[in-house]
A and B are shown apart, each in its own frame.
Chain A
Amino acid sequence: EPEVTQTPSHQVTQMGQEVILRCVPISNHLYFYWYRQILGQKVEFLVSFYNNEISEKSEIFDDQFSVERPDGSNFTLKIRSTKLEDSAMYFCASTTIGTANSPLHFGNGTRLTVT
C-alpha cells in the first residue's frame, strides 16, 4: 500500500539553525499538509498546500516557516531559525481530494529536537 514517507526520522539541531524536513506524499495525492505535535500534546495544523501554493496556514506558521514542492514529488518544511519551542514531532500528510470525506494519510513523522 502506498505511504507517505518522511526523512529524517529524527533531527537534532542547535537553536538559531535552519532545518529542512522532507516528505514524499503518496503519488496521486494533490493536497499536502504539515502538522506538529509537541510531546504529550495535541496534533496542531501548520499549513495546507495545493496547486503549488499555500491554501491555509495557522497562527503557528509564521515567517520562520516556509513550504515548498521543489520537484513534483518532494514536499518540504523549512524552519529558518529554530527556537527551543520548535522541538516537536512534525507530520506530513496528504490526501487525494479536498473534500470533507477524504482521510489524510500521515507519514511516520520527524522528531525535531532543538538544543
Chain B
Amino acid sequence: AQKITQTQPGMFVQEKEAVTLDCTYDTSDQSYGLFWYKQPSSGEMIFLIYQGSYDEQNATEGRYSLNFQKARKSANLVISASQLGDSAMYFCAMRGSSNYKLTFGKGTLLTVNP
C-alpha cells in the first residue's frame, strides 16, 4: 500500500518568489512514480510533473521542479517565480508497481499574493 503525506494545509507566497510544497511518501514497492497535480478553483486536475523512483536527476518542467530525496522518502515541489495564476490546490500522488492506481495526499492550498 502507498501513503502520501502533505503536512501543509495552506501556504502563502508573494508574487515572483519561489515556494516549496512538501510531500513525503511511504511504500514497499521498489519501483514507483511520484506526481504533482494542480487543481484550480474551477476544479479540473492538471498534471504538472513526474519523478521516477530510479531517476537520478530531479525532474524539472518549466517553473516547476521536484526536490526528490529518496532516502528521506520526500518529493517536494518547488515553484519558482510564482504567478497569481499559481493560486490553487496542489496534490502530491504516487503510483506503485504492486498496483497501478494513483494515491493522493490531502493537498496544499497555495495562495499567491500580489
Known contacts A42-B107, A43-B91, A99-B97; is-contact A104 B44 (Cβ 8 Å): no
Segment with Cβ contacts to A, from B16-24, B29-37, B70-78: B29-37
Is A75 part of the binding interface, using a Cβ–Cβ cutoff of 8 Å?
Answer: no
Number of B interface residues, CB 8 Å? 29
Q: List 21 A-B contacts (CB under 8 A).
A: A35-B102, A42-B91, A42-B107, A43-B45, A43-B91, A45-B101, A45-B102, A56-B99, A91-B45, A99-B33, A99-B95, A99-B97, A99-B100, A100-B33, A100-B53, A100-B95, A100-B96, A101-B52, A102-B33, A103-B47, A105-B47
Which residues of B approach A to under 8 Å, CB–CB?
29, 31-33, 35, 37, 42-47, 50, 52-53, 91, 93, 95-97, 99-107
Which residues of A approach B to under 8 Å, CB–CB?
31, 33, 35, 41-45, 48, 55-56, 89, 91, 93, 98-109, 111
